[in-house]
Structure 1
């Protein structure tokens, strides 16, 4: 019983029986306090809207993960938008404001359901967030688990306090009674225990599962990493079958991407976490609390190994896989620094460490066994529906088999045998924590279908303008012609060449020609723009040194100015100056303008140079060397060359440089398949598959060309190409 309510009730009785001034004063004070309380409660609707918006944000993030999983055929629903981090924990804390409130009354069924229902909502969020733990490194995992534990424990304590005080069960309808004992609904101790068990215990159970899963995740990543490295070495050996001096074929690249797709998919930490017993247990707990979202995750995890053998494995509670407790055993065997040199003190600390970790190991095994038992319950409930589904699937399979027999049976059987052989080869790239569990054929086929579907979808996005430009290339001679060593650089520090800067400079020269048809120039600019997308990928992947990056940044900045504003270092393109109608005059004007810019920058004091001046110097030096090379190469008949002929000459150079650069695309694709960070492998392989689909026609068009006899690593550098084509060596 709230003592304030009893005092106010006694006060009202005394006021009714007396007219003393002091009681009238106290009555005025009581009315004043009531008015003030109503005034303080006015912002409550806005606070409710704030809480509702935070809850809506969490729901939308979970729905986005749901659609992302369906879109990518990942029915275990990976966490992409709703993950455990500082932002999500802050939003969850805002959404949990109602059950966190210890003093405000919630007079009404709707208000009480909103407060109590928040505990079910946080259980739903915890069930959805569990796989995201696998995307974190050890430091992030520890910090986020601690932050989540503080939030959940605080929420659980606050709810327990409200259950104990009875404020969570307050009803304004009870105020109609004159007896003060009805002002607060009294509940018995046993009823309080039941309410705590329903609304508090599941949250704490999920928190315990989170802690146990974190220990397993740390060890599981080590196991998956070791198996990935072994499969990676196997893939590299298979990759060495390429013909020397030739590009890898599209079929070989598809096989290579498929291998790494299987490795990244089955070795994904989130996939491993979603298929664990703890995730199934969290899903079932969420279902029991009346939530629907975790149900899909629960059954998705169960569908990975849906068989009687799997059910029996979970029923055998005596078996707990080593990765669940291995990290604790490692800590138990490891040594710790002792603060004291006393031998007795060391013995005590060592014994306490072993004892505490032994207790933790036992607790970990208990939690895992409990989660496995909980995970079996949905299967036992759904035995009959699953039985009918299996029968229906077998019926469909029989129909397909009969149809195959009456049609081209021999061809189908040959294709099936080839597919089975392919699947058998791909099984060597499947990564599993437990080798004694057979990986489902259906899951493997689903992964292959997803990567093939991604490649086929990307094949519809071919760069058509780039293909038209590459059709003008018949070899790689333009790589040698665009620049001559007879033209010394104007800058004191000789810049390294990259692929993109000569392309941008040559395109700028073409755009400076005033008599060329606009549609021809626009088509070439579009082709170069599409080509630079892949050129930048080659440079970022294979030319990542500081010197190359500096030149690449200058080319990127210049291209924005050329493509968008039709300017070269502030000069309008095409050049519309008197006596600028011949290619010779245009080239000379560009050369002289570039030379003056370089000299101006070089004459500056070092302290006066900034990023813009260095960028101008790099671009102007490239323009000077290329225009001077063209003038020297055609000095005898430069005055006889028309703008159309110069356009064709420069277009051929651009096409040759693009073709030479894009011969590195197979190497870029193979390198993108592999990355050292386990959390980024899926995204990296997806990018490789997307790139392969988009560049299929490019690779096929360059397939028959003989590459220079260079080290494969040297093919990524334009200077190596330039030197080899000028002076080929056996």
Structure 2
């Protein structure tokens, strides 16, 4: 009977019910620790990227965060567990304050959510907050919470205000997104028009100017930044500060003025775990208040400067975008399917009255938030004056010490003097945002370009220096003289011939391992950008299998020196002649193709060549390229492995160079193609790509390019068609190979 929860007498044995409580406390502390780490990560990223409005990447108000929050506040909603000691009562209060901290910290994340997701998350948050408030009220009534009742009442009031602010602020998110998306498209067209008028400027300099414009546009229209700079988010930061100060006040009073409280004797069923929860949640409140406090401080700092300069006065005006969605909802008819006209009228009138109430509440929240900002400005005005005075002194000191370096700085950063004020996207009442962004001395694009330049592909650049004018190797690796094994050939992609040529180079006898290592490193770096171009500019579904074939082949070559099941390293050590090595590779590929075609004919299947299995596509590429080398070298490849390997490196360099002529289009596309929620990160990624490929773009600009339009330059088959229209280019002669040898074809490994 003991196993069933009863003792020998048949009465309920509740002595073991409290034994798991310390473990539950550890569970609560673990959930709080996860929230702490998430908020700390966002704070570190914000400081590192100098985004002092602190975007929410890890501590967003999504379903995962709300679930962790529900676990972390378990002590606040526990109705019947006794909490007699000071740390027990403080743990109750810290859990309540923790909710306010998470709400204020994650408010900018509303901008990243879709409408349905945002509605569901706010509903879940509302249910959680109401549940906590009801449970705390019950505990205040029953005496589970018997101290800090004023602090609990104040925190519950702040919690309700934060819930109202978040709920009604979310109503503006769809409106502001739509408005800023429209303005972004217009400014993007303006940037393109200005770029087209600038003729004769180097591609790299033009791209730098363009990405600076795109970054200003994407940053100022980022939904998270729009939410973070709003007056409601500023007010939520003030409320978070007040809640954290309330917890600090209660802790200081309990530790330094213990006689002012009458705590009960005894021990909680949570035992020592409440102390652990209190410590972790106090740290979480401290770390989580950094972001809201910084948003609040920077908002009032700029507001104080504006009032000091008397450029304009902050009016208690409710801009139209705050209530636009509610007004539109009020004007739309109901679709309830009510047939009776009288009831339809009642429903419509009730809807109008409810939305009128919502509009008044929304207006009240905005006015209250602006009042809080004004009060904050006046309350910290002496500190702001001192801060501004010190800043001006620092600027004057730097100016006096740095006059001699002005000319060099202007030459090194020509793009930083661009007038980008017209590209700042702002909402109604945000005219001061232009001045704020233009005053910012930190130029993120220059920083990201420098960071990208530190990670530039040095082996790829070394390989591209050997490419020929016009990238003739694009038309040389496969000619029309190779007999086809099928009536129709699959299309080409950029990556597959590159990895096939590299496979052949690895298999050649008597080749320096140093050269092979350098070639593999170069191709590995080049394929990163080839995939980037193919994934962004070539959306043809018929190339999917061919790209997969290239990835599969390269995985084997790079890691194991194997082409499918052929051990290339072993083949190179067998001591066979150059012609025998090429013939073996061609025969192995041909056998795969013949076997596939027999199977296809037996089963009466007709597949498009682009839909062939990936190993068959890889075999087809190997067969044609190996046969091309054999046909063009029938009498000249005795003891010329080194020259052939260098010629292969030139062809790989030409193919990669021709492909990378499209990299500037990827940079431009990344600045527009993504959704507004992800555009700022996309532009940043584009700037990093520009930094990594800046030297490559300058190198390729010196090469003679064929007369192809931009759409044709994306496709390797268009390049090949152009070369095939002319007289077929022979395989590189000894003179050409010798000249390329003088171009430092030996790829070194540091």
**Shorter-chain TM-score: which interval?**
0.7 to 0.9
Conserved? CA contact 1:674–1:681, under 8 Å: yes
With over 3 angstroms needed to count, the CA separation of the structure-2 counterparts of 1:413 and 1:151, relative to structure 1, is closer
Q: CA deviation at 1:336?
A: 2.2
Q: CA deviation at 1:494?
A: 2.9
For structure 1, the 5+ residue unaligned runs are 1-27, 171-190
**Counterpart of 1:630?**
629
1:237 equivalent to 2:235? Answer no
Q: CA deviation at 1:584?
A: 1.3
With over 3 angstroms needed to count, the CA separation of the structure-2 counterparts of 1:704 and 1:113, relative to structure 1, is same
1:131 equivalent to 2:108? Answer yes
Conserved? CA contact 1:473–1:655, under 8 Å: yes
Alignment of 1:293-304 (within 5 A): 293=289, 294-303=292-301
Match of 2:173 among 199, 204, 217: 217
Alignment of 1:57-72 (within 5 A): 57-72=34-49
With over 3 angstroms needed to count, the CA separation of the structure-2 counterparts of 1:435 and 1:238, relative to structure 1, is farther
**Counterpart of 2:94?**
117
Conserved? CA contact 2:93–2:152, under 8 Å: no
1:591-626 Cα offsets, whole Å, 9 max, x none, are: 111010112223235699999981110100000111
Structure 1 CA distance for aligned equivalents of residues 203 and 488 of structure 2: 41
Conserved? CA contact 1:554–1:615, under 8 Å: yes
**Counterpart of 1:458?**
452
Conserved? CA contact 1:484–1:629, under 8 Å: yes
1:122 alignment partner, SS class: helix
1:535 equivalent to 2:530? Answer yes
Conserved? CA contact 1:257–1:689, under 8 Å: yes
Conserved? CA contact 2:307–2:313, under 8 Å: no
1:487 alignment partner, SS class: coil
Q: Which of the two has higher C-alpha Rg?
A: 1
1:678 alignment partner, SS class: coil
Q: CA deviation at 1:197?
A: 2.9
1:621 equivalent to 2:598? Answer no
Q: CA deviation at 1:526?
A: 1.0
Structure 2 CA distance for aligned equivalents of residues 472 and 330 of structure 1: 63
For structure 2, the 5+ residue unaligned runs are 1-5, 246-284, 728-750
Q: CA deviation at 1:404?
A: 6.1
Conserved? CA contact 2:538–2:714, under 8 Å: yes
Structure 2 CA distance for aligned equivalents of residues 304 and 654 of structure 1: 55
Conserved? CA contact 2:421–2:434, under 8 Å: no
Match of 1:513 among 508, 511, 516: 508
2:569 alignment partner, SS class: coil
With over 3 angstroms needed to count, the CA separation of the structure-2 counterparts of 1:258 and 1:544, relative to structure 1, is same
Structure 2 CA distance for aligned equivalents of residues 39 and 315 of structure 1: 66
With over 3 angstroms needed to count, the CA separation of the structure-2 counterparts of 1:248 and 1:440, relative to structure 1, is same
Structure 2 CA distance for aligned equivalents of residues 429 and 448 of structure 1: 17
TM-score (norm: length of structure 2) = 0.84
**Counterpart of 1:382?**
380
Structure 1 CA distance for aligned equivalents of residues 472 and 561 of structure 2: 28
With over 3 angstroms needed to count, the CA separation of the structure-2 counterparts of 1:436 and 1:686, relative to structure 1, is closer
Structure 2 CA distance for aligned equivalents of residues 416 and 586 of structure 1: 52
**Counterpart of 1:582?**
577
Q: CA deviation at 1:199?
A: 2.9
1:400-420 Cα offsets, whole Å, 9 max, x none, are: 444567x588x5998899889
1:543-580 Cα offsets, whole Å, 9 max, x none, are: 12111222111101110011101101111013438986
TM-score (norm: length of structure 1) = 0.86
**Counterpart of 1:391?**
389
With over 3 angstroms needed to count, the CA separation of the structure-2 counterparts of 1:432 and 1:286, relative to structure 1, is same
Residue range with higher mean Cα deviation, 54-63 or 215-224: 215-224
Alignment of 1:74-89 (within 5 A): 74-89=51-66
Residue range with higher mean Cα deviation, 194-203 or 111-120: 194-203
1:427 equivalent to 2:404? Answer no
1:298-328 Cα offsets, whole Å, 9 max, x none, are: 2134445543449999986641011110000
Conserved? CA contact 1:311–1:376, under 8 Å: no
Q: CA deviation at 1:447?
A: 7.4
Conserved? CA contact 1:594–1:620, under 8 Å: yes
Conserved? CA contact 2:208–2:415, under 8 Å: no
Structure 1 CA distance for aligned equivalents of residues 429 and 152 of structure 2: 42
Conserved? CA contact 2:306–2:312, under 8 Å: no
